[in-house]
Amino acid sequence: MRLRLLAFLALSGTPLAAQSFPTEDPVLRRIWSEGMVSSQAMGLIQVLTDSVGPRLTGSPGMLSGQEWLKANYAKWGISARSEQYGTWIGWRRGTTQVDLLAPRVRTLDGMMLAWSPGTRGKPVQGTTVILADPGDSASFAAWLPQVKGKFVLGSPAEPTCRPDSSYIRWAGQPAFQELSQARQRERAAWQRRNLGFGPGAKALAQRLEEAGAVGVITSTWTGGWGATRIFQAQTKTVPTVGLSCEDYGLVYRLTSRNQGPRLRVSAEAEFLGEVPVFNVIGEIRGSEKPDEYVMLSAHFDSWDGSSGATDNGTGSVTMLEAMRILKAAYPAPRRTILVGHWSGEEQGLVGSRAFTEDHPEVVRGLQALFNQDNGTGRVVNLGAAGLLDAGANIARWVSRLPGDLSQGLLLGFPGSPAGGGSDNASFACYGAPGLGLGSENADYGQYTWHTGRDTYDKVIEPNLKRNATLTAMLAYLASEDPANVPRERRIVAPGPGGAPGQWPACAKPPRSSAESNR
């Protein structure tokens, strides 16, 4: 495998030394001033998270947010449009109230899952039963009549809702090992009892509904204090509610020990039928090479258990603010600068995959795409996405960044193509330079990713300003680069068992929710 690098850059993961501020480049100076001195980033994300709120694909909140995007671009003199890529099931969330009525009274910390049916305008009451293992079909069929008139508990309970670090500190390592082994045994016993994703989950939920269950109660703990993930329901006629780790454990223990728990659930939801879904595409037309493109990329959709602040409000505002900065500091770019605010990322990169399928001219003419989608940490990683000779271009761009932005930035050459975790994969699969701007963790996985805690207060202001400024500078430098980014691909490392490595294949996106369920 050939590997071409500039001599002053290491093979991968080596920080670049701080550079002096490039006073000779007036555009970089204007970008710095707009992004770091006159930033609008925090004002934008406050409106997005607090006023617009979550942006579930197919929801009125998503449409409202997209109109907000276009209004901002119009205010700045940037052309932006909604592009329909298909249809999806429309759904509007209302309020959720979950109460324990017996053996004592307590209002529980819970929320209806996305695309769940509601309770049709009146509360539903019932006792509880723990989901049996459907692996033994005869035993499961014999058990199934027990669910009639009851809420089915569809998740294992955690032995403790303390984070592991807290348990180890206060109980000691031997006690934690014992607890960990018990947790693993319990989770293994629940492997076939899946009400999360996939055809098996849909089929299981349907059997529970047909048997007369009045609802499903689940919990997906992140491992952090008070944080649970809010995904989607598989039920079609009765509500599915996610409870906090602590309150789910309470109900589970009462049920398993025959202490007579009784729940009352009131949930409001409205299905809106199959509705059009859109990406928002913004554009600053190129003055010299309009058919070559630098693209900014972030998914705009979110799960709706919270505000979608760090997944992916921060990425969305990074790109929104970068476009504002570029329009002010670099209004006549050499190449066309595009921004993609994608829908349907959480359903499998649907919006961005549809865009690449619909716009082969952008894929062919792509100089670089910069995608950000892992929270509010500082961008610290930039790789060449498996393109052997792209490192020279990236090195030139990074070498011209001011030290405050380049210091600590780790470069990986040639890196690997994105495999499907975020929207740059929709471009990288074609061998186009779909680059990921990787951020520091900032407690993303444990506390904000897909949780009910992903709110405005979790956004770190200096990081958001820095990331938007960095992105604008990279877009400018990529646009001005006299050399196109080469596309020769690396040899992909062998897979499990020594199977030949394969460049990621481009998946055909479903253009409707019906197609996604096939």
Q: Is residue 3 part of a domain?
A: no
Contact 27, 329 (CB under 8 A): yes
Separation in Å, CA 251 to CA 106, 143, 217, 289: 11, 20, 10, 63
Q: What is the pLDDT of residues 57-79, one digit of tens each?
A: 999 999 999 999 999 999 999 99
Q: Please, is 504 exposed, middle or buried when counting C-beta atoms within 10 Å of its C-beta (0-12, 13-18, 19+)?
A: middle
CATH number at residue 338: 3.40.630.10
**Count of domains in the chain?**
2
In degrees, rounded to 5, the angle at the alpha carbon of residue 8 between the alpha carbons of residues 483 and 462 is 80
Q: Are residues 450 and 315 in the same domain?
A: yes
Max distance between CA atoms of the chain, in angstroms, equals 79
Q: Are 92 and 272 in contact (CB under 8 A)?
A: yes
Rounded CA gap, 89 and 28, in Å? 44
Claim to verify: residue 474 and residue 357 sit in the same structural domain: yes
Question: Is there a domain that residue 70 lies in?
Answer: yes
Tell me what percent of the residues of the chain surpass a pLDDT of 90.
91
What's the burial of 184, exposed, middle or buried (CB within 10 Å: 0-12/13-18/19+)? exposed
> What CATH number did the domain enclosing 138 receive?
3.50.30
Print the SS3 string covering 93-151.
EEEEEEEEEECCCEEECEEECECCCCCCCCCEEEEEEECCCCCCHHHHHHHHHHHCCEE
**Residue range(s) defining the domain that contains residue 280:** 12-89+274-492
- Predicted pLDDT of residue 14: 42
Rg, C-alpha atoms of the chain: 25
- pTM, two decimal places: 0.94
CB 393 within 8 A of CB 485: yes
How do residues 152-202 score in pLDDT, each as one tens digit? 999 999 999 999 999 999 999 999 999 999 999 999 999 989 999 889 999
Average pLDDT over the chain reads 94
Mean pLDDT of 288-310: 98
Q: For residue range 118-165, what is the model confidence (pLDDT) as tens digits? A: 999 999 999 999 999 998 899 999 999 999 999 999 999 999 999 999
- Helix orientation angle between 60-75 and 314-329, rounded to the nearest 10 degrees: 20
Residue 382 shares a structural domain with residue 323: yes
Q: Are residues 297 and 443 in the same domain?
A: yes
Helix residue spans in 172-232 (DSSP H)? 173-189, 199-210
End-to-end CA separation in angstroms for the chain = 40
**Quick one: pLDDT at residue 22?**
52
Query: How many degrees, rounded to 5, is the angle at CA 359 between CA 354 and CA 362?
Result: 125
Residue 500 lies in a domain: no
- Both 251 and 291 in one domain: the answer is no
